[in-house]
C-alpha cells in the first residue's frame, strides 16, 4: 500500500491510492478490505512488523473541530467598525472513535500495533472518504476481561493530518 522509493539515500513515501469495488476498498498494491461489516468507520494502519492492517470502528465516532484564529487590531473607529479583525481561521478536525467489544487478543493487537502506529488512514465508510490521521493518545492500556471484569472497549482519539483553512 505504501511504496518506498530510494534514490541516492533519499527515501520517498508514496501514499496509497484506493478505489471502491462494490463493498470492498482496493488499494494500488492489490490489498483489499471488505467494508460490508457493521461499522461506519475503519482505520488502516502500519503495524509493528511493517505490514498494513485494518480495524473496524463499530462504536460511535464524534468529530470535533479545533480552531486557531489569526487576527490583527486597529484603532477604534465608527461604532460598526471592527477593532479586531480575523483574517484566517485554521481548523483541525479531530475524531473520538469508540471501538466495539474486543476479546483479549483483539485488545492486545490494538494496544501493540494500532495505537503506536506512525501511519494511519481513517476511512468513512458512509461517504467513502479516506484521509491520513495521527493518533493523539499518548498511552495504551492493555485491557483484559480478567482485569476489567467486563468486556473491553477503547476510545481512540485521532486528528486529521491535514488542517483546513478559511481566509
Question: Which three cell numbers mark 153?
Answer: 472497549
pLDDT digits (tens, 9 = 90+) for 18-32: 555 655 666 565 666
Residues in the chain: 167
pTM for this predicted structure: 0.71
Burial class (CB in 10 A: 0-12, 13-18, 19+), 82: exposed
Cα-based distances in Å from 136 to 94, 113, 133, 152: 9, 15, 9, 20
Q: How far is CA 152 from the centre of its chain?
A: 21
**Paired strand residues for 30:** none
pLDDT tops 50 at residue 12: no
Out of 24-33, 78-87, 151-160, which region has the weakest mean confidence (pLDDT)?
24-33
C-alpha cell recorded at residue 123: 476511512
Looking at domain 39-166, its CATH architecture is: Beta Barrel (2.40)
Query: Which among 38, 13, 22, 37 has a CA at the least distance from the CA of 121?
Result: 13
Task: Specify the higher pLDDT residue, 3 or 116.
Answer: 116
Amino acid at each position: 500500500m505504501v511504496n518506498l522509493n530510494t534514490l541516492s539515500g533519499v527515501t520517498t513515501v508514496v501514499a496509497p491510492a484506493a478505489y471502491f469495488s462494490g463493498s470492498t476498498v482496493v488499494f494500488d498494491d492489490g490489498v483489499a478490505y471488505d467494508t460490508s461489516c457493521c461499522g461506519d468507520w475503519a482505520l488502516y494502519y502500519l503495524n509493528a512488523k511493517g505490514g498494513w492492517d485494518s480495524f473496524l470502528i463499530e462504536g460511535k465516532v464524534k468529530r470535533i473541530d479545533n480552531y486557531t484564529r489569526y487576527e490583527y487590531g486597529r484603532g477604534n473607529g465608527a461604532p460598526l467598525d471592527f477593532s479586531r479583525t480575523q483574517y484566517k481561521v485554521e481548523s483541525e478536525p479531530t475524531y473520538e472513535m469508540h471501538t466495539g467489544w474486543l476479546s483479549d487478543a483483539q485488545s492486545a493487537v490494538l494496544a501493540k500495533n494500532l495505537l503506536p502506529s506512525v501511519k494511519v488512514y481513517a476511512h468513512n465508510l458512509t461517504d467513502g472518504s479516506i484521509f491520513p490521521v495521527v493518533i493523539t493518545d499518548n498511552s495504551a492500556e492493555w485491557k483484559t476481561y480478567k482485569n476489567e471484569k467486563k468486556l473491553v472497549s477503547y476510545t481512540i482519539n485521532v486528528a486529521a493530518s491535514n488542517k483546513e483553512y478559511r481566509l
